[in-house]
Structure 1
Amino acid sequence: MKTINREDLERVLRSGLRRDILLTLAHYGDLSLSEVLTKLNLDPKKKTLVYYHLRALMNCGLVTSVEKNGIKYYRLTELGYRVAKNLESESIGIKLSLSSILKMLIPATAMVLFVTLVIGVKTGDVRIANDTIVVTPQSIVGTLAATITATLVFLLGLLLLLRRMPREIFKM
């Protein structure tokens, strides 16, 4: 079995198309280049691009090719199956995390709005008169700025978290 160093594996797996090819081969088994294009819903004009990525996966020992009746088919190696399995579990975890994190974003945004409203009442930018909330333009701008800033910080943290590759992939 071919061994691969961590940096090479990280480099190869940075490409979303390569990860998609790995997962497609794991799901469908042996596929020709045309079949890979079809399964990935790619234009046949992308044949050269997909072939380039298949070669990169082959050079890393994740994919191999076999010829049947004059047609070249691509299949995962044992290492390729293990990497694909880890990618699948990572994908499921990310989907679950995203849905739960997005559910947390709404209450977090509401909390920022509430705190901004309370601060506005304390500073006089927001008044309650005759069951009506009167808000000054500065308070509206401040509330929008605070909400947008908090949301961007939250989403930036989420992006940084999701960009980290799970280390389990490299423990093979």
Structure 2
Amino acid sequence: MLAALSSPTAVLEARTPALRTAQGPLDAEHPLPVHVFEPASVPGGLPRARLTGWRFHIRAGAVVAAAGETVATPDGWVFSRFSEGPYLGSTERALRQAEALPATYQPHLLSVPGLYMLALWLHHDARADAATAQPDPADLLIPLAPAPPGIAAHRVHRLAELAQVISVRHAPPPLAGSPA
């Protein structure tokens, strides 16, 4: 990420107006592992999470101007892209919510592509390996805005409670004519 930020070509060719016009040095902070939600394999079970990348907030002075993402390749983690949009401010807000909680959690981002949803996943074991952490009943989720209809953004949920709702809504519809 630091190499991409120090590359004028990567920053100037980014599709993020905020990065192209940023004044002063750019800095990467808040590295969050990004996992994709995989529904539970058994009814009532916990979902799985598959690590797909890392997202960094790119700060230009006092402002978070964009996000930078890395992805895994056979040669290790490499820069993928810069982005901006509503999830930047929403992630910052959710991180502040997490800091105000009475317990310490390890923050992750949890993507639910089928619902166009992103949540801050707060893993209960703050010392766990972020790359291999898996959802646990003691974990919390904070859906980021914009959240799908019927799921309140920035409300802290127990993982098991919200995962059940997500799994039902994420499931493919039954085939026409099938008994379901």
TM-score normalized by structure 2? 0.21
Instruction: Look at both structures and tell me which one has the larger radius of gyration over its CA atoms.
Output: 1
TM-score, length of structure 1 as denominator length:
0.22
Q: As a proportion of its length, which structure holds more helix?
A: 1
Higher strand share: 2
